Amino acid sequence: MTDITNLGILGYDGLRFVTLDLKRSHDFYTKKVGFTQIAKSSDAWTEETGDTAAVYQAGDVTIEVIEPNRDGSFGSYHRHFHAAGIATVNFRVRDIEAAWKHLEERGATFIADIQTDEIDGGRYRRFEIATPLGNATFGFVERAEYPGYAPGFDVVETDVHNEFGIGGIDHLTVNMSTLKPYIDWYKNVLGMEKFWEIDFHTSDINPGAGSGSGLKSIVAKDPESGVKFANNEPLRPYFHRSQIQKYLEDFGGPGIQHAAFEVEDIITVVREMRERGVVFLHTPHSYYAARPATLAEQGVPEIDEDWQVLEDLEIAIDGSEDGYLLQIFMKEAALLYDEPEAGPFFIELIQRKGDRGFGGGNFRALFEAIERDQLGDLAGTKAE
């Protein structure tokens, strides 16, 4: 059998997101988080597919946003089963034929044959496979001087502004009810490796509470490109009360909970995004009181940032002897818009300063912050 590491993934090519409201998505990406609209679906594509789409880019992050127009379209199929969210993850590959061959040998389930389009001496080739992640699909794209986004799309803008210095997708986080089948699929079909894992439960710190929830997470990594998926399952006791389980109920099955975007200066980015109305998850002040001592125990070098600034902006920090990382998480769309069908997807911003891991302390802090938001939502109040 051919070595699966020769699959040839170069990185993420982009995400396909099905929305309830394309105008609202357009305003969010262009007015709040500094993306540029680079393409839109042609009239012919919209007529043929039954969907309307717009494509946004910042740095190496590309997001195709789809709004369904009629029953039977790709977008309406997604919406029939799920809240708004990511329907497809596209990977850039070195050689589309080689990627197909290796995936075929590993038992991948193909949705259609390779699509090819050639314009002005450039070429675009793509195919798609089914995944264990419910109705989510993975696409594989080879680009060779192709002068646009994809077949069926008209160019809107070629000058990508990238106001906030977004680099690329650091990782995607996926929620599911059980990890092993997914981890086996990442390994046996995609050739990914286990990169990191953690598990915890709120009963660990308050065993007599009689309530709480937890998760187990395993990060899978493509060894060549560094593409990463953080995969979460709920833990007992109180399995069905876990925020992972709540995600599954809110989204309509397993799916991508959030996308993490790399930034170069998270303090400046968060300040300016807050001024534009971006809403982030609340981090309690108690988190910062213990953080300096915790980082010192972990061997984290002295940080460059002012602790008070991090606390004021509610930016989380974690690290190791290799360095540290800074993170913040936006509020999920369903709570942001007070509309359940807007979905539980959200965006993370991350700045890495030496640490390439996932920050176990921040991982737990995020889990607890989401639970606070969900409990506030259930009670009909804003989580404080």
- Burial letters 282-303, b for 16+ CB under 10 A, else e: bbeeebbeebeeebeebebbeb
Q: So what's the pLDDT on residue 214?
A: 81
Residue ranges covered by each domain of the chain = 4-155, 166-378
Nearest to 67 by CA among 24, 28, 19: 19
For residues 279 and 331, the answer to whether their CB atoms sit within 8 Å is: yes
Q: So what's the pLDDT on residue 236?
A: 84
Tens of pLDDT, residue by residue, the chain (384 residues): 345 556 999 999 999 999 999 999 999 999 999 999 999 999 999 999 999 999 999 999 999 999 999 999 999 999 999 999 999 999 999 999 999 999 999 999 999 999 999 999 999 999 999 999 999 999 999 999 999 999 999 999 989 989 999 999 999 999 999 999 999 999 999 999 999 988 877 666 565 555 667 889 999 999 999 999 999 999 887 788 888 999 999 999 999 999 999 999 999 999 999 999 999 999 888 889 889 998 999 899 899 999 999 999 999 999 999 999 999 999 999 999 999 999 999 999 999 999 988 866 666 666 666 666 665 544 433 332
Q: So what's the pLDDT on residue 45?
A: 98
Given the candidates 3.50.40.10, 2.60.40.1760, 3.30.1200.10, 3.10.180.10, the CATH classification of the domain at 4-155 is 3.10.180.10
Q: So what's the pLDDT on residue 375?
A: 56
**Which tokens go with 271?**
């300040």
Model pTM score: 0.92
Binding site for Fe cation: what residues are annotated? Answer: 171, 258, 348
For the chain, give the secondary structure using H, E and C: CCCHHHHCEEEEEEEEEECCCHHHHHHHHHHHCCCEEEEEECHHHHHHHCEEEEEEEECCEEEEEEEECCCCCHHHHHHHHCCCEEEEEEEEECCHHHHHHHHHHCCCCECCCCEEEEECCEEEEEEEEECCCCCCEEEEEEEECCCCCCCCEEECCCCCCCCCCEEEEEEEEEECCCCHHHHHHHHHHHCCEEEEEEEEEHHHCCCCCCCCCEEEEEEEECCCCCCEEEEEEEECCCHHHCHHHHHHHHHCCCEEEEEEEEECCHHHHHHHHHHCCCCECCCCHHHHHHHHHHHHHCCCCCCCCCHHHHHHHCCEEEEECCEEEEEEEECCHHHHCCCHHHCCCEEEEEEEEECCCCCHHHHHHHHHHHHHHHHHHHCCCCCC
For residues 39 and 149, the answer to whether their CB atoms sit within 8 Å is: yes
Given the candidates 3.30.70.1070, 3.10.180.10, 3.40.50.1000, 2.30.30.90, the CATH classification of the domain at 166-378 is 3.10.180.10
Binding site: what residues are annotated? Answer: 171, 258, 348
Within this chain, domains 4-155 and 166-378 share the same CATH topology: yes
